Every structure is written in C-alpha cells, then in structure tokens.
Structure 1
C-alpha cells in the first residue's frame, strides 16, 4: 500500500462526512500492520462536544476490530495548508501509534506534509506518566 493509495482512501471517505453545522468534511485512512485499511470521516452533532473527528473514527473502528498495530495514517480536508489534526485526535493517536508512525496530512491542492507521531505531538502524555497503579 502506497501513501498515495492511503490518501485516496481518505479522500473517498471524506465524501461521507456528516457535517451539517461546520460544513467542514474530513477523511482519514489508517493502515494496520496486518495490511487492512480502516477509514473514518467526521460525524457532527448539534451538541458539538459529542462530535467525533475522522481520525478518531478510523482508530476506534480499527481497535474495535481487534487491530492495535498501525504503520501509517492519511488525513484529508478542504484546507489551504495540509490539515493538522486537533489536540484530541493527537492525544488519541499518541495512545495507539509508535513515535515513528507516519502521518500524511494533505489538502485540496494535494500539498502533502508527512510527519511522524513524535513530530506531531512531542513530549506527549502517556501511560508511563501515570506511574504504578497496581
């Protein structure tokens, strides 16, 4: 699976976004270590805090399907610059991605910026910060 194919899958799923309030569709595609692709689009709600971003939808679908090892993600939106994930998505991504997981961010002009998880969220809060709980 090439990065371009992953970006194409993200573009396809973006068209299914439910965005009646913001009118800002986002698509994400996640490649698991097993080779399976999980896609997600943002899904809004009139009560904004219960909405869910495309990145988290894709990750949650994969986790609920038993996948937990990921190699790459693509995120697409109709923005002028490559679309940056929000803070909530970055934190969820850091829970499930290795520091070197590739994340391809793109926009309407097909300008793509590829970063690693560590570059996207350096010095992230993780389970080791919670200390010994047992």
Structure 2
C-alpha cells in the first residue's frame, strides 16, 4: 500500500507583527456618502498605507488611496521583492483590491511616499488606471507642504486603450 502524505494546515501567522485591526481599517474602508472624499482625508489614508509597505531594499515607502465611484476607498502599499521586477506598486495593489471586491469605476487616487516628495504613479500604473478611468481621473500627489493635482490624460497622453486595439 503506497504511503500517503497528509499536510497539516498551520494557522495563518500574524502579518509581520502589525495589528490586523489597523491593517483592515484602511485596506477596505466603506464610506456612507457618495460625494467625493475630502482631499486631505484621501491623502491621510494613503499616508496610513505607507506603514504597511514591505521595502527592505529601497526603504522607500509608497502608499495609495483609491476612491471608487461610489465613495469606497481602497488602499495599497508597495511590496518589494529582491529581484525588483516582481515588486508591486502601491497603486496596483489598491486597484487589485478594488477590482477583487467588484469595483471598476474610480473617482480619484492619492499617492504619497514617506519622503513626501510628490511621487507620481509610474507609467505602468498610469496605463492600468487608463484601463478603468477616463482622461479626467484625478491624481493627487503629496508634496512636502501641499498637494499637487493632475489629470490622468495629462500624465499619460495617447495611452493604449481598447479603441487603440480596435475593440
């Protein structure tokens, strides 16, 4: 009779010592109103998300807070990998969480870093936003003493779209 291996299912360890309540608070935050979230509150959510960043190589923490069309806010942080190409950007983590939860229409995003240096979404993240958002999608960037506001169409003119592909 062949020997069968059985794997014991170990309990899931806590997330690197971070309180799970704090993580859940900003990972998926339901809002009651459908009006656009206050800029300062959205940036505060992005700043909070930087605390969860996994950045052992660059030590450059990035957070994003993505507001859906119905006012729900999803946050993301950057997650580095030693080979860098497998790293995840804060914006794509937030988009993935939103889409996973059934959202595909977005109002605005706030992006920040631990340096408060006005970090902008990279080209890859801009292209991903283009998949779901129009040219007028708001992008707020956290600078040292103020917020900079951009429109997606200005950040990525001539983006690749379904129309570009003839679909």
The aligned counterpart of 1:47 is: 83
The aligned counterpart of 1:34 is: 70
The aligned counterpart of 1:113 is: 148
- 5+ residue gaps in structure 1? none
Equivalent-residue separation in structure 2 for 1:17 and 1:79 (angstroms)? 13
Kindly indicate whether residue 38 of structure 2 is the aligned counterpart of residue 2 of structure 1: yes
Moved over 2 A (4+): 78-81
Give the drift of 1:80: 6.2
Q: Which has the higher helix share?
A: 1
The aligned counterpart of 1:126 is: 161
Q: How many residues align?
A: 131
The TM-score with structure 2 as length reference comes to: 0.75
Looking at CA atoms only, which structure, 1 or 2, has the larger radius of gyration? Answer: 2
Equivalent-residue separation in structure 2 for 1:28 and 1:80 (angstroms)? 13
Equivalent-residue separation in structure 1 for 2:154 and 2:92 (angstroms)? 19
Partner SS, residue 130 of structure 1: coil
- 5+ residue gaps in structure 2? 1-36
The TM-score with structure 1 as length reference comes to: 0.92
Question: Could you say which structure has the greater relative contact order, defined with CA pairs below 8 angstroms and 6 or more residues apart?
Answer: 1
